Amino acid sequence: MPVRRTVIAAAVAAVVLVGAAVAAVSLTRSAEPPGCDDIRAYQERYGEIETLGDGDQAIAVLGDSYAAGDELADRGDRWTDALAALDGDLTVRVDAVPFTGYVNRGGCGPHSFADRIDRAVAAADGTLVIQGGLNDVFAGREALRRATERVLDAAAGVPRVIVVGPMDVPGREGEAAVDAVLAAEARERGLAYVSALEWDLPVGADRIHLTADGHRAYAERILAALRG
């Protein structure tokens, strides 16, 4: 486990150097930033879907850098790991790619939520958590609406879908607009929507990504939604 976390921490650190610029240009796909080869090697070693915990209740998570644990010294402190630790009955199957969203395909390939939703649905055992939207603040409203529609419609076969919107963080602008689109599309389909706009959780020096304490608090809120 320490080797796994060290490898991904180095890869994420390299990719984070290009930060918001990657998130913006990735909407139309551009040259790859540093770190992509390391991330692909990690996925080849551990799979595109990573399994955390060994409980009887399996859930799938489709997410972005929050679910991946960007900016953490120990990736094992991310909220998806914390979720499995908080509830021993859970097995959490994670499909997390940094800098991605409903529209945003990421800096390391075509990895938008629309690109990955089918494999996340296949990994779901009755419950799917779709977490993201922070990397879609650069997308137009209509493009975001159409992409969200595609993702949520593709998840229609999952008995329980929980959509978690973006936090309002100091390093980004436009989260409220994204939240409004995601909330409307989720509720139109009768899906649970969790707005994270008011979650006042600690973020790191980049003013975007959660600290280890922030991840644990985030996991507690996701667990409350699962139990709700």
**Size of the chain in residues:** 228
pLDDT (tens digit per residue) in 172-182: 999 999 999 99
22: pLDDT strictly greater than 80:
no
What amino acid occupies position 27?
A: L
Q: How far apart are CA 33 and CA 22, in angstroms?
A: 8
Closest C-alpha among 223, 205, 103 to residue 151:
103
Domain range enclosing 81: 2-227
How many CB atoms lie under 10 A from the CB of residue 4?
Answer: 14
* Cβ-contact 209, 203 below 8 angstroms: yes
Mean pLDDT across the stretch 6-30?
A: 46
pLDDT (tens digit per residue) in 33-70: 777 887 787 788 778 999 999 999 999 999 999 999 99
Question: How much is the pLDDT for 122?
Answer: 97
What is the count of structural domains for the chain? 1
Residues 6+ apart with CB under 8 A from 200: none
pLDDT (tens digit per residue) in 92-113: 999 999 899 999 998 888 999 9
Question: How much is the pLDDT for 43?
Answer: 80
CATH classification at residue 133: 3.40.50.1110
User: Which residue matches tokens 């990573």?
Assistant: 50
